[in-house]
Amino acid sequence: MIITAIHGQNHKGSTYNIASLLISSLGDNEVHEFFLPRDLDHFCTGCYRCIKDESECPFFEDKDRIMRSVLQSDLLIFTTPTYCLRASAPMKSFLDLTFSYWMSHRPRKAMFSKKAVVISTAAGAGAKTAGKDITTALFYMGVPYIKTYCKAIQASCWDEVKPDRKEKIRNDMERLVGKIKSSKIRVGIRTRFFFSMMRMLQIKDMASGEYDKRYWEERGWLGKKRPWKV
């Protein structure tokens, strides 16, 4: 199995350590890790050049290096600390820079056959809303299988997390591994419905323009073909 982990922080804090527990529990796999902002230190400028040609994004090379790893992976792991009740700014920036991968624009066929895990932690409140920032983006990219682990750890760093809480987290990761390995990927009705909505907008020229429509036409998605079908 190929795993890509994208960490919404440079430091190796609680979310990183929980992800490491998950990765090690999954066994011997090919793992690629990226840290934000170290590996993508940019904010979307709203130039919209990616809608015409994604390679025209001012930060294409850095972004593409991460997304090529994402597209070739079987399992995606996203981690973020909770800052002001939401995902970290570097993670939000990454999501902004990849909006062209959404079903409303140019979704990738490969995304409809992936599993993803979103891990977020907070000293107190907000871990769930931080995680939701990421799960929302993954849904719109077409990822059909998304598990979340959003935890209030009652500590400012991993070293301060109480031993009994760490033990519970380890057990939780082992159970999560079981679910990941045993679950089959199935594109649900919500994804199918949203894809159909976006398809109709493309057909009626009510989407983002000719470049996106051409992308859909070239893949046969305005006809009977669908990205989740072989």
Q: In degrees to the nearest 10, what's the CA dihedral of 92, 93, 97, 101?
A: -10
- Residue-wise pLDDT tens digits, 32-85: 999 999 999 999 999 999 998 999 999 999 999 999 999 999 999 999 999 999
**What is the Cα–Cα distance from 26 to 14, expressed in whole angstroms?**
19
Instruction: Report helix, strand or coil for 87.
Output: coil
Domains of the chain plus CATH, in order, are 2-188 (3.40.50.360)
- Least Cα distance to 112 among 196, 185, 193 occurs for 185
Q: In degrees to the nearest 10, what's the CA dihedral of 104, 84, 5, 74?
A: -40
The pLDDT assigned to 208 comes to 87
Q: Is residue 230's pLDDT more than 90?
A: no
Provide the percentage of residues in the chain whose pLDDT is more than 90: 97
Neighbours of 98 (CB within 10 A): 20
Predicted structure pTM score: 0.96
Q: Phi first, then psi: what are they for 151, rounded to 5°?
A: -130, 130
The pLDDT assigned to 226 comes to 97
At residue 42's C-alpha, the angle toward residues 216 and 59, to 5°, is 50
Q: Is residue 109's pLDDT more than 90?
A: yes
- Least Cα distance to 148 among 19, 13, 12, 4 occurs for 19
Type and span of the H or E element at 158: none
Q: Could you give the C-alpha distances from 145 to 45, 103, 141, 191, in angstroms and in order?
A: 31, 16, 12, 11
Q: Respond yes or no on whether the N-terminal peptide bond of residue 37 is cis (omega within 30° of 0).
A: yes
